[in-house]
Amino acid sequence: MNLWIPPNNVTEFVLLGLTQNPHLQKILFVVLLLVFLFTVLANLLIVITISLSPTLSTPMYFFLMHLSFIDASFTSVTTPKMVIDLLYQKRTICWDGCLTQLFVGHLLGGSETIVLTVMAYDRYVAICKPLHYTAIMRQGLCQLLVVVTWTGGILHATVQILFTMDLTFCGPNVIDHFMCEFFSLLELSCSDTYRLGIVVAANTGGMCLLIFFMLLISYIVILSSLKSHGSEGRHKAFSTCGAHFTVVVLFFVPCIFTYLRPVATYPVDKLVTVFFAILCPMLNPIIYTVRNTEVKNAMRSLLKRRVT
């Protein structure tokens, strides 16, 4: 079966968008456009800074560079179309566009899940096994973990897309969302989606829940090991781990809420998706740079070099 051939008589979907209020649409257009531009530029600045700064050559910043690239890409999957759609009364997305949005979104979302786990492992080794850190987190392992990150994202997205092979549509094509969202497609489908909904909840929501609890346990272990460190070491560890754990909570809690439930859509889903796909990628560079002196100094040094 060719996935790119529209099932039955549905060739496009109508998106209701964030709001039907014309005045609010204009305000949201300006606000979300500024947020999108800031998110992409801030994350790309981190990518460029880390790749060009010798002082940021440690594994922690290597993984942060990949996280920032994923965030810049992730927000670009849905935000540009959503912003442009705010200027029009009729908003549609074709079947090919819907599948592409689903695949790329889940690829990047799955990859971010894994890279956040890898970053937590890096912090665990750095704090709990500092004498063996350079031996364990060698360059070859870091590159392998990045390959695993993207491979895992591709596999997760492929599974999500293959699920669409079981969907049939009999006419209704209105999605009460600003993007092509999988649960919305399940609700529109005229086939039995009960078992498929359970599989999707396990594949995405269950994975998010399991990894979130694993990360939670790892941070409890890290915090308990900090008792043997000096005050300066504890402060630095709290700073880096606090920033990372904040990002973990901001990413995983909306993911668990969205996918670990029966097939259903709620009005609050739009706000959760805005936070998950737009605001979270914007907050990540702020969280990682505001209290990180090394990144801020590297950015200043890079800007001075470019100016002079």
Give a yes or no: residue 46 inside a domain. yes
182-210 tens-digit pLDDT = 888 888 888 777 777 787 777 788 888 88
pLDDT of residue 9: 64
**73 within some domain:** yes
**CA torsion, ordered 154, 155, 158, 163, to nearest 10 deg:** -150
Nearest residue to 137 (alpha-carbon basis) of 57, 54, 50: 57
Domain that holds residue 265: 12-307
In a domain? residue 257: yes
Q: Which domain CATH number covers 273? A: 1.20.1070.10
Is 6 inside any structural domain?
A: no
The domain tally of the chain equals: 1
Tell me if 144 is assigned to some domain.
yes
Q: Is the pLDDT of residue 44 over 80?
A: yes
Looking at the domain assignment, is residue 100 inside a domain?
Answer: yes
pLDDT, one tens digit per residue, over 84-118 is 998 887 888 888 888 899 999 999 999 999 999 99
In a domain, 7, yes or no: no
Residue in this structure with the two tokens 């739009």, named with its chain if needed: 270
Q: Note the pLDDT of residue 169.
A: 80
| 247 Cβ neighbours under 8 A, 6+ residues apart | 116, 280, 283, 284, 287, 288
Residue 5, domain member (yes or no): no
d(CA 104, CA 97): 11
Of 280 and 227, the structure prediction assigns the larger pLDDT to 280
pLDDT confidence band for 1 (50 / 70 / 90): very low
Q: Where do runs of H (alpha helix) occur along the chain? A: 22-52, 59-85, 95-128, 133-136, 139-163, 182-188, 194-200, 207-225, 231-259, 268-274, 280-290, 293-307
The residue assigned the tokens 């927000």 is: 75
